[in-house]
Chain A
Amino acid sequence: EAQVTQNPRYLITVTGKKLTVTCSQNMNHEYMSWYRQDPGLGLRQIYYSMNVEVTDKGDVPEGYKVSRKEKRNFPLILESPSPNQTSLYFCASGRPSMSNEQFFGPGTRLTVL
């Protein structure tokens, strides 16, 4: 089944404790992206990647890191999480050569205490 998977789905952590949210897609998509969703603000892009070893900042990159060492994986790293990073996070992937559609994962709900 073609899908985008994220792990973990739920995470409660404390301020300053480094964490990684993994994202993997099995559709051989070149493009991958991370969004955060907050009430009343919609989806805001954190980082995106057009292909392996190519990453760029989105609208709200502060406090986040990403890497794209393999085509299928695009982990989101929070080196020192803070309470304002409490949010619902979505990973997405797509194939620009075919369409503009983005395929979203199921989301990761992160709480930083």
Chain B
Amino acid sequence: GENVEQHPSTLSVQEGDSAVIKCTYSDSASNYFPWYKQELGKGPQLIIDIRSNVGEKKDQRIAVTLNKTAKHFSLHITETQPEDSAVYFCAAGGDNYGQNFVFGPGTRLSVLP
């Protein structure tokens, strides 16, 4: 089955700096790679996703890159703000909705003012 690793487990950056979180996956059949943000006391919320036919996707300060050959994908947050502080989860899955959908262990991001 799919196995997703995520690094680092914790990350502290100064406000205004960039943050990068990296994930690797094992199943070459996976073709959908979302990123979820979990704020304290809340459920995860989708912030951006990418499919295997695309190498990069950007939404304002957030971007995701995918390298299918190397089986890794990354989340990039630029100009970080205190409200970006949260736990971020990557995930990998296939065409079957909800099935074989595996989350990484999470990265706790702290943006220091």
List residues of chain A with CB under 8 Å of any chain B CB: 4, 31, 33, 35, 40-45, 48, 50, 56, 59, 90, 92, 94, 96, 100-102, 104-107
**Most chain B C-beta atoms within 10 Å of own C-beta, residue among A48, A92, A102:** A102
Report A-chain residues with C-beta under 8 Å of the C-beta of B32. Answer: 100
CB<8 Å pairs between A and B, sample of 27: A31-B97, A35-B103, A40-B9, A42-B4, A42-B6, A42-B103, A42-B104, A42-B105, A43-B44, A43-B89, A45-B101, A48-B99, A50-B98, A56-B99, A59-B102, A90-B43, A92-B43, A96-B98, A100-B34, A102-B98, A104-B36, A104-B43, A104-B45, A105-B43, A106-B42, A107-B41, A107-B42
- The secondary structure that dominates the A interface is strand
